[in-house]
Structure 1
Amino acid sequence: MVHNNGHYWQIGSKPYKKFEEWAKSLGDIYRVQMGQQNWIILTSDKVVGELLQKRGKKYSSRWPTYYFYQILERNKGFIGSPYHERYRILTPIIHGILDQRNIKRKSDLFDTEFQILMQNLYQASMNAKNGLFPKFYFQLTSLNIITLLCSGKRTKSIEDPFYKDFENYMENHLQLIRITNRLGDFFPFLRLFTSHELHERVIRDRKRSENLYGKLIKEVMNDKEKKSCIIRDLLYKVEDGILDELDIIHIISNLFSAGTDTISASLTWIVAALANNPQVQFKAHQELDQVIGQSRLPTIFDEQNIPYIRAIVKESQRYCGPIYLGIPHYIEEDDEYNGYHIPANSVIILNQYGIHMDEKRYENPKELKPERFLSFTNSSAALANGNYENRDHFGFGAGRRLCAGIHMAELALLLGVSRLLWCFRIENVSPLGKDGKPIPIDMEKIRFGMTIWPEIFHVKFVKRHDNVEKVLFKSNSI
Structure 2
Amino acid sequence: MAHPAFVPSYVIASFVLGLVLVAWKLRNLGRRPAGLPPGPPTLPLLGNLHQMPTSSAHIQFRKWADEYGPVYSLILGTKTMIVLSSDVAIKELLDKRGTIYSDRPDMYLSQTVASGGHRLVVMRYGDTWRIIHRLIHNILNIKVAAKYIPYQDLENKFMLEGLLDTPENLFNHLRRFSFSLSTQMIFGYRCPRYDDRRLEELFYTVDGWGQVSESGTAQLADLYPILQKLPAFLLPAVNKAKHVNKVGTALYKGLWLQAKEDLKKGTGLPCICNDLLLAQQSEGLSDEAVAYIVGSLLEGGSDTTSATMYGFVQAMLVFQDVQKKAQEEIDRPDRLPTVDDYPNLPYIRCCVKESLRWMPTVILGVPHRVMKDDTYNGWKIPKDSTIINNVWGIHMDPDRCPEPRRFNPDRFAGDSTTLYESAHGEPLKRDNFNFGAGRRLCQGIHIAERSLFLGLSRILWGFNLNKALDSAGNPITPDINNLIGGITVHPKPFEIDIQPRSPERTKIIRQAVKDCEELVFPDSGQWKKVPEGMVFGAWKPA
**Could you state the TM-score of these two structures normalised by the residue count of structure 2?**
0.82
Letter in 2 for 1:283: K
In structure 1, what is the Cα distance between the partners aligned to 2:340 and 2:115? 46
**How far apart, in 2, do the equivalents of 1:399 and 1:72 lie?**
26
Aligned with 2:395 (options 356, 361, 371): 356
| CA deviation after TM superposition for structure 1 residue 164, in Å | 2.8
- Give the AA of the match of 2:480: M
1:379 maps to which of 407, 414, 418: 418
1:365 and 2:396 are equivalent in the alignment: no
Report the CA distance shift for 1:476/1:303 in structure 2 as closer, same or farther (over 3 A). closer
Candidates 309, 320, 325, aligned match of 1:267: 309
1:35 deviates by 3.2
Identity across aligned pairs (percent)?
31
Distance 2:364 2:65 in 1: 14
Query: CA-to-partner distance for each residue in 1:347-402, whole Å, 9 max, x for gaps?
Result: 10011111111121112212111111121101111011122122122222221211
1:64 corresponds to 2:106: yes
Distance 1:401 1:241 in 2: 21
- How far off its partner does 1:236 sit? 1.8
Q: Structure 2 matches for 1:302-381, cutoff 5 A? A: 302-381=341-420
3-state SS, counterpart of residue 62 of structure 1: coil
- The 3 A distance-change label for structure 1 pair 463 and 233 is same
Gaps of 5+ in 2: 1-36, 518-542
Structure 2 matches for 1:271-290, cutoff 5 A? 271-290=313-332
Report the 3-state secondary structure (helix = DSSP H, G, I; strand = E; otherwise coil) of the residue aligned with 2:121.
Answer: coil
Output the CA distance in 1 between the equivalents of 2:498 and 2:476: 17
Q: Is residue 162 of structure 1 aligned with residue 201 of structure 2?
A: no
**Structure 2 residue 137 is matched with structure 1 residue 95:** yes
Alignment equivalent of 1:243, drawn from 278, 282, 285:
285
Three-state SS of the structure 2 residue aligned to 1:215 is helix
1:234 pairs with 273, 276, 295, which one? 276
Q: What TM-score does the superposition give when structure 1 sets the normalisation length?
A: 0.92
Give the Cα separation in 1 of the matches to 2:298 and 2:426. Answer: 31
Q: Does 1:444 align with 2:481?
A: yes
> C-alpha separation between the residues in 1 aligned to 2:252 and 2:111?
21
Give the CA deviation at 1:316.
1.2
Correspondences of 1:45-124 after superposition (within 5 Å) = 45-68=87-110, 71=113, 75-124=117-166
Count of residue correspondences: 467
Q: How far apart are residue 189 of structure 1 and its match?
A: 4.8
Match of 1:240, SS state, is: helix
Answer yes or no: is the 8 Å Cα contact 1:14–1:448 preserved in 2.
no
* Stretch deviating more after TM superposition (338-347 or 219-228): 219-228
Q: Whole-Å Cα distance in 2 between the matches of residues 268 and 441 of structure 1? A: 12
Deviation at residue 188 of structure 1 after TM alignment: 3.6
Q: Distance in 2 between matches of 1:135 and 1:177?
A: 24
Q: Which SS does the other structure have where 1:243 is aligned? A: coil
Is 1:469 the counterpart of 2:511? The answer is no
Residue 414 (str. 1) matches residue 456 (str. 2): no
Cα deviation for residue 442 of structure 1 reads 0.2
Aligned equivalent of 1:397: 436
SS across alignment from 1:137:
helix
Q: Which amino acid aligns with 1:455?
A: K
CA separation of 1:216 and 1:445: change in aligned 2, threshold 3 A: same
Contact 1:152 1:229 in 2 (8 A): yes
Worse overlay, 31-40 or 371-380: 31-40
Matched to 1:330, the amino acid is R
- Shift in CA distance, 401/222, structure 1 to aligned 2, threshold 3 Å: closer
Match of 1:32 in 2: 74
Amino acid at match of 2:272: I
Residue aligning to 2:51: 10
Match in the other structure for 1:209: 248
Compared CA separation, residues 310 and 73, structure 1 to 2 (3 A): closer
CA contact (8 A) 1:430 1:441 kept: no
**AA matched with 1:210:** T
What corresponds to 2:26 in structure 1? Answer: none
Could you say if the C-alpha distance between residues 120 and 225 of structure 1 is closer, same or farther in structure 2, counting changes exceeding 3 Å? same
| Matches of 1:267 and 1:69, distance apart in 2 | 28
In 1, the alpha carbon distance for the partners of 2:390 and 2:208 equals 25
1:158 aligned counterpart, secondary structure: coil
Stretch of structure 1 that moved more, 153-162 or 53-62: 153-162
Contact 1:133 1:458 in 2 (8 A): no
Q: Is the 8 A contact 1:62 1:83 kept in 2?
A: yes
Per-residue deviation, 1:36? 3.0
Given the alignment of the two structures, is residue 173 of structure 1 paired with residue 214 of structure 2, yes or no?
A: no
Residues 73/139 of structure 1: CA separation in 2 closer, same or farther (3 Å cut): closer
- After TM superposition, the structure 1 stretch with the greater mean CA deviation from structure 2, 371-380 or 424-433, is 424-433
Amino acid paired to 1:220: A
For the structure 1 residues 152 and 37, does the alpha-carbon distance in structure 2 shift closer, same or farther, using more than 3 Å as the test?
same
Which is worse superposed, 240-249 or 101-110?
240-249
**What letter is aligned with 1:112?**
L
Q: CA deviation at 1:194?
A: 5.9
Q: Is the 8 A contact 1:383 1:392 kept in 2?
A: yes
Shift, 1:278, TM fit: 1.0
Q: What whole-Å deviation, never above 9, does each CA across 1:6-46 have from its counterpart, x for those lacking one?
A: 32332321111111111112111111012332110011111
Deviation at 1:158, TM superposition (A): 1.6
* 3-state SS of paired residue (2:99): coil
Q: Counterpart in 2 of 1:146?
A: 182
Of 228-237 and 339-348, the range deviating more from structure 2 = 228-237
3-state SS of paired residue (2:101): coil
RMSD: 2.1
Query: CA-to-partner distance for each residue in 1:205-249, whole Å, 9 max, x for gaps?
Result: 323222112221222233233423222321222222432211111
Query: 3-state DSSP class of the match of 1:22?
Result: helix
State the SS of the aligned residue for 2:81. strand
